[in-house]
Amino acid sequence: MITTLSLKEAQRRILSMTSPGEQETLPLPAVLGRICAHSTGAVIPVPSFNHSTRDGFAVRSRDLRKAAPDRPLLLPVVGMIAAGRLDPPPCPKGSAIRIMTGAAIPPGADQVIPFEEVIECNQGITSRNPGRPGRFIRKRGSDLNLNRIIIKDGESIQPDHLALLATAGVEELTIYQKPSVAILTTGSELIRPGQEPRPGEVISSNGYLLGGLIKSDGGKLTTLSSAGDNEALILAKLDTILAGQPRIIISTGGMGPGDYDLMGTVLDQLGVTKVYQDLAVRPGRATIFGHRKSTLFFALPGPPPAVRLLYNELIRPALRKIGGSRQTAPAWHARLNTSINNLRPGIMKLMGGVHSQNNDGLTVRPAEKIEPITCVMVIPANRRSLKAGERITIHPAMGAGLAER
C-alpha cells in the first residue's frame, strides 16, 4: 500500500533507488565540469627533474665548505645552462656553471648561488658564504610524487585539476557519462512561446525551465516533448520516450484530481512501479515517483513555481548521483529579514527564496514572483506565520527559475 510520505522519506527512497551511471574516457580538454569516475594520480613526478629556482651558479656545496666573510673562495665558471637544455654538462669539482631559472641542475652540483651573492671576475666567481646543499633547487617529485592522487572519484573537475593533471603527465580521464533525461509537458492549454495566447491558453515554459536546470546540473536533455490532455496521446509519447531508455523521465501536468489529470493512470498502463504518489509537502501533494527497469519517473504538477521547487528537492539529488557526484545537498540555517503571514498550517511548505551573506550571517527573504531563486525555504508544518529575525532551514538552489510565493 502506497502511503503519504514526508519530504525527507521521499528523498531517502529516491536516492536508495539511484546509482551512478555509465563511464567514459575523454581527453583532458573535454572533461571540464564533469565528474571523475576513477581517482587519478600523477603519471610522472612533478617536477620531473631537479631544477634551479634562481638565476645564478650551480656548484658543489662541499667546494664552499670553508668559505667565510673573511675568506672568499674562487670558483672558475666552466659553462652555462639555459632552461630547456636537455643535456646539462656535469659540474666538475672546484668549479661553477652559470644557470638560469628552470634549468636542469647539472650532475655533481647540489646548490645554486644567486648572482647577487657572488662577485664575478675574469677568473670566475668568488663567494663568502659556506655551502648549503639543496639551496635554490626544486627537487624531482617535490610537488607531486609518482602516483600521488590529484583528483578523487566523485569530484567535479575544475580548471586547476586540468592544469595539475596535464603537468603530471595525464592525457585523458575516466568520467561519468551525463545522465540522459527526457521531459514531457502535458496540458491542452499549453502553447509554444511566440504564439499569441487566447483566453484559456498558457505559454508553456516548463520545458525551458527543466532543460536549463538539467544542463546546469550536468545532465543531457535527450527529449523535450509535449502532449495535450489525451490519455492515448500521452501514453504513446511516454512509450516512445521509454524506448530510448533515459535514466530519468520528468512529466509536468496531469497530476490533480480533475477529469483531465491522467498521469497516474498512464503510468499504471506503462508498468511503472510507483514508490509514492502523495507527499506531505506543498507544493507536491500530487507528485508521483516510480521506476521501470533502470528508468526513474518523476511526475510533477504543472505550475512552473512548483516544478522549480520540486526539481530542487526531489530530482536534482538523483540526477547528480547518477552523474557520479558524491556531494550531498546541504541544509543551511538563515535568518528571515521579513515576516511571512497567512501560512496554512498542517503541512510543510516550500517557498522560493533569495539568500545573502552579510555581517549578521546568512539572511533570506521570499523571492518575488518573477525573480530567480537562490534557495528553497522550508517552512515547518505547524506555523501560521513567521516573524522577521526567525531562523529557518534553506536548501541552496542551482540555476534560475520563477519563485513560489
Cα separation, 349 vs 283, whole angstroms: 7
β partners of residue 364: 336, 355
CA distance 285 to 308: 15
- Out of 3.30.70.1290, 3.40.190.10, 1.10.10.60, 2.40.340.10, the CATH code matching 332-396 is 2.40.340.10
Supply the pTM of this predicted model.
0.86
The CATH code of domain 51-138 reads: 2.170.190.11
Check: CB of residue 152 under 8 Å from CB of residue 90.
no
Domain positions in the chain: 7-22+177-322, 31-46+142-176, 51-138, 332-396
**Three cell numbers, residue 390:** 526567525
CATH of domain 31-46+142-176: 3.90.105
Of 185, 183, 143, nearest to 167 (Cα)?
A: 143
Per-residue pLDDT in tens (0 to 9) along the chain, 405 residues: 567 899 999 999 999 999 999 999 999 999 999 999 999 999 999 999 999 999 999 999 999 999 999 999 999 999 999 999 999 999 999 999 999 999 999 999 999 999 999 999 999 999 999 999 999 999 999 999 999 999 999 999 999 999 999 999 999 999 999 999 999 999 999 989 889 889 998 999 999 999 999 999 999 999 999 999 999 999 999 999 999 999 999 999 988 766 656 899 999 999 999 999 999 999 999 899 999 999 999 999 999 999 999 999 999 999 999 999 998 889 999 999 999 998 988 899 999 999 999 888 999 999 998 899 999 999 999 999 999 999 999 999 974 333 333
Nine-digit cell string for 53: 629556482
Cis-peptide into 396, omega within 30 deg = no
Question: Hey, what CATH topology would domain 7-22+177-322 get?
Answer: Molybdenum Cofactor Biosythetic Enzyme; Chain A (3.40.980)
| Long-range pairs of 151-154 with CB within 8 A, sequence gap ≥ 24 | 151/36, 151/39, 151/40, 152/36, 152/39, 153/36, 153/37, 153/38, 153/39, 153/324, 153/326, 154/35, 154/36, 154/324, 154/325, 154/326, 154/327
Sequence-distant (≥ 6) Cβ neighbours of residue 53 within 8 angstroms: 101, 112, 136, 137, 138
Cα–Cα dist 191/173, whole Å:
43
- The DSSP result for 29-80, as a single string, is GG-TTSBBSS-EE-SS-BSSS-EESSSEEEE-GGGGTT-BTTB-EEE-EEEE
